[in-house]
Amino acid sequence: MSGEQEKEMNTSVQEFHENPVEFMERIPPKYDGEKPDSSDATSLFDQADIEQSTHVEARDDLRQQVTEKDEIAVGRAAFADNDEADGFVDEFRFSGLQGMEDNGLMRAELPESPWSDDYWAFYLGSLGKRYADPNFPGSMDWKENYDYIQNNPAAEIVAQGNADAINRLSPAEKYDILVGDTEYSLTRKMWDQGRKYYVRDGQVEAWMGLCHGWAPAAYMLPRPTGTATVLAADGQTYLTFYPADVKALATLLWAKVKYHSRFIGGRCNDKDPAKDSQTGRILSQICFDTNPGTWHLAMVNQIGVSQRSMIMDATYDYQVWNQPILSYSYRYFNPKTMYYASSVDGAGVAVSDFSNDKFARFRSNETDSIVGIEMKVSYLVETAPTHSEKDGATNDHVKSVVYLYDLELDFAGNIIGGEWYQNAHPDFLWTPLQGERIVTAAEHHISLNEQWQSGQPIAQQWRQSASMAAEYEQAPLAAIVEQLIAFANS
């Protein structure tokens, strides 16, 4: 660590020591690459909504979508008191800081990055958005966008036979044409997602979308690296699915179909939870989650050891709340002296010697020593879809955030808890089970003997199942999504 970085870290932790109540309310520093980034610079909420904490309810609504559609893994519950990392990660090998340090796990990055995608906002029609059409309004008014599609129907564009115009159709429209669905069922369902809010409220909130589908799809399915040009069900129309189109369908699949997942963290939709007057610490155990000890164990054992991503829900973020994690790095500070320490030995403070512990009354009775941690986490964020014919990690958008906390260690050096130094921290972690493959219910009607061959229309049985899945599950067939990825990567 450079001298400037050490100085910056020392300054932060000392500011906490001098005025914990004020420091607790600060937003953790975020970075876009190496440059400082304001977390609300591209906020989907206006200032009035932010001041009223509207994002808390919005985030809770998204979390309910995730937990309602998912089947929770055996032994886990979406909103439970247990906060154990060993039941969450794929492989739990390290429970103590010394072992993590000795095995080079103070930093780790996934060997293959999850991919960025749009969150396919409902006010734009979700996958019904004609993102490549220069005349598409892209208005904040759902009805203006919807009316444009109604006045320029996909069926007429296909009938005119202009290949460029056909390829500028939305991902949902291309999918309906591919499977020969003349009712455009998937496209209709995409617009219906926003319609119900427009009819009820007169508007569709900008935050509503499919980030809860993109985040798991981004590392559960391979990245589509190229285009897939396929023959539609009519046997005449060729369709080019760009990487953005294939990602969109993958995102929708993982947003709509049930699967087994693991969760850490409770459910808090309190806009103004009670806080300790001396430290500013949130008192509600539900709203305090996730414990920093659990957070640290999950990060190291999932990203560092298991080498597989997981999804972070950051309560303070006014953008979208499901971000797949790419990497982490952490360093120590001594929580008594509030200065950087190069090793866990120099950072540890025995409880009996920690006379100035701000959180003394909240500590576990089993705590033997306390170590300060500054962790930088990098995660994927959304990107706008384009007609780029190639996709790779250089097209992804990565941001970072820095968290300050301490860890409580027992007499054996195992992490048993800790305290956040800022109330704006990750409060919810989740991931599909390793190797999980999801399929729509309609796919059980597909014959295993029928395959979708390159250069040929999709078989009739696939078409019928595709229409059923679109109508009743609002999803594409997993078999079609997977084959499009294979075509794109061939």
Using CA atoms, how far apart are residues 435 and 418, in angstroms rounded to an integer?
Answer: 32
Using CA atoms, how far apart are residues 409 and 418, in angstroms rounded to an integer?
Answer: 8
Q: What is the pLDDT of residue 20?
A: 82
Using CA atoms, how far apart are residues 199 and 206, in angstroms rounded to an integer?
Answer: 15
pLDDT tens across the length of the chain (490 residues): 566 666 776 777 788 888 888 888 888 888 887 676 654 445 666 666 655 666 666 666 666 666 665 554 443 333 344 467 888 999 999 999 999 999 999 999 999 999 999 999 999 999 999 999 999 999 999 999 999 999 999 999 999 999 999 999 999 999 999 999 999 999 999 999 999 999 999 999 888 899 899 999 999 999 999 999 999 999 999 999 999 999 999 999 999 998 888 888 765 665 566 677 777 676 666 555 678 999 999 999 999 999 999 999 865 555 557 899 999 999 999 999 888 899 999 999 999 999 889 899 889 899 999 999 999 999 999 999 999 999 999 999 999 999 999 999 999 999 999 999 988 788 788 999 999 999 999 998 787 667 888 889 999 989 999 999 999 999 999 999 999 999 999 9
Asked if residue 276 lies in contact with residue 283, where contact means CB atoms within 8 angstroms, the answer is yes
Residue 266 carries which side chain, given as an amino acid letter?
G
Q: HSE-up of 345 (CA within 13 Å, CB side)?
A: 1
Helix axes 243-256, 478-489, angle to 10 degrees: 150
Using CA atoms, how far apart are residues 221 and 216, in angstroms rounded to an integer?
Answer: 8
Query: Which two three-digit tokens encode residue 446?
Result: 């597909």
* DSSP-assigned letters across all residues of 9-57: HHHHHHHHHH-HHHHHTSPPPEEETTEEE-TTTT-SS-HHHHHTTHHHH
Three-state DSSP state, 171: helix
* DSSP-assigned letters across all residues of 393-421: GGG-EEEEEEEEEEEEE-TTSBEEEEEES
Asked if residue 479 lies in contact with residue 438, where contact means CB atoms within 8 angstroms, the answer is no
Q: HSE-up of 255 (CA within 13 Å, CB side)?
A: 27
Using CA atoms, how far apart are residues 268 and 56, in angstroms rounded to an integer?
Answer: 8
Buried b or exposed e, range 400-417, using 16+ CB within 10 angstroms? bbbbbbbbbbbeebbbbb
Domains in the chain: boundaries: 3-114+259-432, 122-225+437-489
Q: How far is CA 107 from CA 300, 321, 329, in A?
A: 8, 24, 4
Torsion sign, CA atoms 100, 106, 112, 113: positive
Using CA atoms, how far apart are residues 377 and 294, in angstroms rounded to an integer?
Answer: 15
Asked if residue 409 lies in contact with residue 354, where contact means CB atoms within 8 angstroms, the answer is no
Asked if residue 86 lies in contact with residue 305, where contact means CB atoms within 8 angstroms, the answer is no
Asked if residue 295 lies in contact with residue 433, where contact means CB atoms within 8 angstroms, the answer is no
Cα 330 to chain center, whole Å? 21
Residue 435 forms beta bridges with which residues?
none
Closest CA to 303 of 117, 94, 116, 97: 94
Q: What is the pLDDT of residue 439?
A: 94
Q: What is the pLDDT of residue 77?
A: 37
Q: What is the pLDDT of residue 59?
A: 65
Determine whether 463 is exposed, middle or buried from the number of CB atoms within 10 Å of its CB (0-12, 13-18, 19+): middle
Asked if residue 381 lies in contact with residue 116, where contact means CB atoms within 8 angstroms, the answer is yes
Q: Is the peptide bond before 367 cis (omega within 30 degrees of 0)?
A: no
Using CA atoms, how far apart are residues 227 and 390, in angstroms rounded to an integer?
Answer: 7
Using CA atoms, how far apart are residues 10 and 14, in angstroms rounded to an integer?
Answer: 6
Query: Residue with structure tokens 């496209």?
Result: 187
Q: Is the peptide bond before 279 cis (omega within 30 degrees of 0)?
A: no
Helix, strand, coil content of the chain in percent (nearest 5): 40, 20, 45
Cα 292 to chain center, whole Å? 19
Closest CA to 388 of 116, 42, 110: 116
What are the residues whose beta carbons fall under 8 Å from the beta carbon of 160, sequence distance 6 or more? none
Query: Residue with structure tokens 């023959």?
Result: 231
